[in-house]
Amino acid sequence: MNVLLVLPLVLPLTTAALSLLAWRWLVLQRVMGVAGTAALFGSGVALLAFVWTNGICATQIGSWPAPFGITIVADLFSAMMVVLAGLIGLAVAVYSQASMDSPRESFGYYPLLHTLLMGVCGAFLTGDLFNLYVWFEVMLMASFVLLTLGGEPDQLRGAIKYVTLNLLASAIFLAAVGILYGVAGTLNMADLAHKLNGVAQGGTLTVLAMLFLIAFGIKAAVFPLFFWLPASYHTPPVAVSAVFAGLLTKVGVYALVRVFTLLFVQDAGYTHTLILVVAGLTMVTGVLGAAAQHDFRRILSFHIISQIGYMIMGLGLAGLTGSGELATLALAGSVFYIAHHIIVKTNLFLLCGVTRQLCGSFELKDMGGLYRDRPVIAMLFLIPALSLAGMPPLSGFFAKLSLVQAGLGMGQYAIVAAALVVGLLTLFSMSKIWAEVFWKPLPAGTDGDGKLPKLTSPQSSSLLLPIVLLAGLTVGIGLAAEPVFALATRAADQLIDRQQYIQAVLGET
């Protein structure tokens, strides 16, 4: 257990350090890139299996008992997130073999990827609020560098906004942590939950909750704090966009879920209603933003925002109910949605990169002809695209279904209506891409005779392997939704039953 819990931190960091030492040996870095992420994925799966059988488990770093040391703790939710991080890391590492240019590779791409994953996993696993800040910064710093790696003008333009707004979020987060320590005298989240239990509703804690909502809301890109995302996600190489799209905002969502199920539940009538309002507005503004775009990656970027709305919708619903079947259903919906979304969104970005290689552009108007000439890629696109829009029987349908069921069950009709309408608009958006990129003939004059270039064999296998894998998962999660949903349900149960978490971290209290 001690080993399993820290492997998701130790493995990427070791790989990153070794990659730094192998600064000049690119081949070695590439091999370690795939091997390291594969090992991370494997360790994540082992952790998930362990938590599934043994319940929430924790290890006290440095053997210092909680709440004095830092606790690394995995419940099903965080273990699942680690698995997904490993999966996305692996997919992107394989994809990068063919898609990443060697100048970027030789300026630290692989160490950066590993440290990014380390930050992400750390954020998922830590049981300490300040330590969470540290992992956020690890992730953020790695993302800054990955975003700017290459230094193209658009990358720099986007990065300024990305960096500034995220630093503002960090500053707010740090201030909130400082004040929380000031009033509660501890940083361990389980200990905080334990100590804040008896604290009166509202007041100072609600103000603090708002600060955390803002700080994590910026990271999660919710309305009206999402500006950094559409400003930057379309600028780096596709592999980078893909890993960002899959993981970064989800860490913000994870943090929101964590603190708003564990710490800030005293004033749920206020805070969680607010979350629900934010969820609805996020869905709508995100999807409308996508509708205004004509660039493949920008459309996908705005859809991330829209989807974040769904993820926190379950959180808001669950908080309003407190406990019981509907709360579990709502939160399970969020968990399921996150898992589904990470796989699907990453895949869409990866596909977007392939279409870019074939058509030579990200602009819809300059693309086309892929359905006629590359039916396999077209079908591979259709799977995540339809899943994103919530079409049955793919993963997205069940994710949306559970949220809508919970919402209707609680009589929260407005948010359900928003969720359904936004689903339709997402479908509209995906069909726009489908019609323009796949159905429409390739515009003449772009690449001469309107013929698409060929991918070389090793190139195409490294590009398509992760796509096929992720598409298979999307279908698989849909067809075998029951086990995944059972996982989500148990994860939600653990989140709602705070005592389990507190007990696992603090021991007998």
Partner 1 sequence: MATVLAIVIGCLYAAGIYMMLRRSLFKLILGLVLLSHGANLLIFTAAGLTRAQPPIIPPGATVPMVPAADPLPQALILTAIVIGFSVLAFALVLFHRTHQTIGSDDPDELKVSDQ
Partner 2 sequence: MGLLAAVLSGFALALFAPGLYRVARGQTGWLLALLPLGLACYFVSQASAIASGATINAHFAWVPALGVNLSFCLDGLSLLFALLITGIGTLVFVYAGGYLAGQPRLGRLYTFLLVFMASMLGLVLADNLLALFVFWELTSVSSYLLIGFDHERERARAAALQALLVTGGGGLALLAGLLLLGQAGGSWELSTLADNGGLGAHPLYVPCLVLVLLGAFTKSAQLPFHFWLPSAMEAPTPVSAYLHSATMVKAGVYLLARLSPVLGGTNLWFFAVSGVGATTMLIGACLALKQTDLKRLLAYSTVSTLGMLTLLLGLGGRLAVYSAMAYLLVHALYKGALFLVAGALDHATGTRDAERLGGLGRAMPVTGLAAGLAALSMAGLPPFFGFSAKELCYAATQIAPAAAWLTALTVLANALLVAVAVLVGLRPFFGKSHATPRRAHEVPPSLWLGALTLAVLGLVFGVRPALGPDLLVGAASTSVLGQSAEMRLALWHGLTPELALTGITLVGGFGAYRSRKLLREAASRWNVVSGWGPAGWYELLLRGLNGLALGQTHLLQSGYLRYYLLIILATTLGLAGAAFARSGDWVASADWSNLHFYEAGLAALIVMAAAVALLVRSRLAAIAALGVVGYGVALVFVVFGAPDVAMTQFLVETLTVILFVLVFYYLPETTVVSGVLARARDAVVAAAVGVLMTALVLIASSVQYSPSISTYYSEQSLPAAHGRNVVNVILVDFRALDTLGEITVLAIAGIGVYALLKLRPAKNGDRDSSVADALGTRSNKNAGPDVQFFQADSTVEAPK
Partner 3 sequence: MTSLILRTVTRFMLPLLLLFSLLLLLRGHNEPGGGFSGGLVAASAFVLYGLAYGVAAVRRALPVQMWTLTGLGLLVAVVSGVLSLLAGFPFMTGMWLPLPGFNHLMMGTPFVFDVGVYLVVVGVTLAIIFPLTEE
8 A C-beta contact, residue 381 and residue 345: no
175 binds, among Na ion, partner 1, partner 3, none (CB under 5 to 8 A by kind): partner 1
Q: Using CB under 8 A as the criterion, what x/- string covers residues 7-26 for binding partner 3?
A: --xx--xx-xxxxxx-x---
Q: Is 154 in the site for partner 2 (CB under 8 A)?
A: yes
225 binds, among partner 2, partner 3, partner 1, none (CB under 5 to 8 A by kind): partner 2
CA–CA distances in Å: residue 314 to residues 178, 242, 368, 415: 29, 25, 38, 10
Q: Is 27 in the site for partner 3 (CB under 8 A)?
A: no
User: Six-digit token pair at 400?
Assistant: 């949306």
Q: Is 241 in the site for partner 3 (CB under 8 A)?
A: no
| CB 208 to Na ion: min, Å | 12
Q: Using CB under 5 A as the criterion, what x/- string covers residues 161-190 for binding Na ion?
A: ---------x-----------x--------
Q: Is 108 left (phi over 0), alpha (psi -120 to 50) or beta?
A: left
Other C-beta atoms closer than 10 Å to the C-beta of 497 total 15
Q: Is 144 in the site for Na ion (CB under 5 A)?
A: no
Query: For 185-267, where are the alpha helices, taking DSSP H only?
Result: 189-196, 204-220, 228-232, 238-243, 249-262
> Biggest alpha carbon distance in the chain?
73
CB-based contacts of 299, cutoff 8 Å, min separation 6: 290, 293, 429, 432, 433
Count interface residues toward partner 3 (CB under 8 A). Answer: 21
Stretch that binds partner 2, among 25-33, 307-315, 437-445, 495-503 (CB under 8 A): 437-445
Site for partner 2 in 93-132 (CB under 8 A): 101-104, 106-108, 111-112, 115, 118-119, 122, 126, 130-131
27, 53, 62, 508: which one contacts partner 3 (CB under 8 A)? 62
Helix (H, G, I), strand (E, B) or coil at 186: coil
Q: Using CB under 8 A as the criterion, what x/- string covers residues 223-262 for binding partner 2?
A: -xx-xx-xx-----x-------------------------
Calpha distance 263→66 (Å, rounded): 17
Strand partners of residue 71: 60
Calpha distance 228→350 (Å, rounded): 21
37, 43, 60, 346: which one contacts partner 3 (CB under 8 A)? 60
Stretch that binds partner 2, among 47-55, 175-183, 339-347, 498-506 (CB under 8 A): 175-183
8 A C-beta contact, residue 305 and residue 282: yes
8 A C-beta contact, residue 333 and residue 416: no
Q: Is 188 in the site for partner 3 (CB under 8 A)?
A: no
| CB 442 to partner 2: min, Å | 10
In this structure, which amino acid lies at residue 275? I
CB nearer partner 1, residue 174 or residue 277? 174
Instruction: Report the alpha-carbon angle 420-321-418, nearest 5.
Output: 15
Count interface residues toward partner 1 (CB under 8 A). Answer: 39
Stretch that binds partner 3, among 5-13, 318-326, 348-356, 443-451 (CB under 8 A): 5-13
499 binds, among partner 3, partner 2, Na ion, none (CB under 5 to 8 A by kind): none
CA–CA distances in Å: residue 377 to residues 25, 274, 291: 33, 41, 23
Calpha distance 346→354 (Å, rounded): 13
163 binds, among partner 1, partner 2, partner 3, none (CB under 5 to 8 A by kind): partner 1
Number of H helices, E strands in the chain: 22, 2
DSSP for 188-200 reads: BHHHHHHHHTTSP
CA–CA distances in Å: residue 76 to residues 12, 143, 494: 21, 26, 8
Count interface residues toward partner 2 (CB under 8 A). Answer: 130
1, 65, 101, 154: which one contacts partner 1 (CB under 8 A)? 154
**Residue ranges in contact with Na ion by CB under 5 A:** 170, 182
**Residue ranges in contact with partner 3 by CB under 8 A:** 2-3, 5-6, 9-10, 13-14, 16-21, 23, 59-63, 72
**Residue ranges in contact with partner 1 by CB under 8 A:** 130, 133-134, 137, 140-141, 144-145, 148, 151, 153-154, 156-161, 163-164, 167-168, 170-171, 174-175, 177-179, 181-183, 187, 227, 230-232, 234-235
